[in-house]
Amino acid sequence: MHPGPYNPPPGAYPPPGPYGRNVPRYGHPGAGSRRGGCSCLKVYCCCCCCLFITLVLIIGGIVLAYFIIKPHTPKFSIDKFEVKSFNISDDFSLKSHLEITAKADNPNKYIEITYGEGKEPKDNSVQVLYSNVTLCSGTIPNIFQPKKNVTMIKIDLKGDLKKEDWAAGSGESLASKLKNNDKIPLLVAIKAPVKVKLGSWWVGKDEPLVVSINATMNVKNLAEGKNPEISDKNYSIGLLFGKTYTKLS
């Protein structure tokens, strides 16, 4: 062994270990490789940290956006029944023409809504049923509703029922209720394709959401030239997106 840069005399440096000459310069090779692992660990930790902070920022952003946008479900109600014709004859054939006014309330400050513009005709329907028999039907007109807006949607419904279209006894019971001017329990079943616009971003542009509204009510004075009274309204609202169905209320 010659004393030299790689082989210092004993005393100047700690005695060389079993790993020899590299000791003074680079330290313990094991320690060196461990330090390499440490810096790897640091990078890994750094990545984790960054990822975590990014995730926190994204979640925070979403929460903040949610509270700024404050999305509210639009409200619907059936406000008016107008009877253009509603004649039930002695053999229980019924020609009807009703105009329903539905009130759509969009309370959102940042969300705009389009109703009635759907891909499939089955997603746009309005039916008036009495004891499971459809009296008349129609569709939702195509309506664009701006933010913070209340729109009255007029829906034209027509029906032509024959004697054989009634389920057991329902024609007779409707005729007798009409005659006595009793309350008539009706179900208005609405299916409407809906597109939602947030800024310039459309939700359901190609695949509209379908809102399903079932409104049960009692209607009195259901006759031409009279002013029908609606009472005991109950609504059930659901949302169809693709094949999934969510009940909202």
Ligand X SMILES: *[C@@H]1O[C@H](CO)[C@@H](O)[C@H](O)[C@H]1NC(C)=O
Site residues, ligand X (CB under 6 A) = 85, 87, 95, 131-132, 145-146, 149-151, 189, 212, 214, 216, 224, 232, 234, 236-238
CB of 110 to ligand X, least distance (A): 16
CB of 44 to ligand X, least distance (A): 50
In one-letter notation, the amino acid at residue 47 is: C
The token duo for 29 is 């090779």
CB-nearer residue toward ligand X: 54 or 142: 142
Please, which residues bridge with residue 214 across strands?
189, 236
Residue nearest ligand X (C-beta atom): 238
CB-nearer residue toward ligand X: 108 or 145: 145
CB-nearer residue toward ligand X: 23 or 210: 210
CB of 108 to ligand X, least distance (A): 13
In one-letter notation, the amino acid at residue 53 is: I
CB of 120 to ligand X, least distance (A): 16
CB-nearer residue toward ligand X: 29 or 146: 146
Contact 99, 157 (CB under 8 A): yes
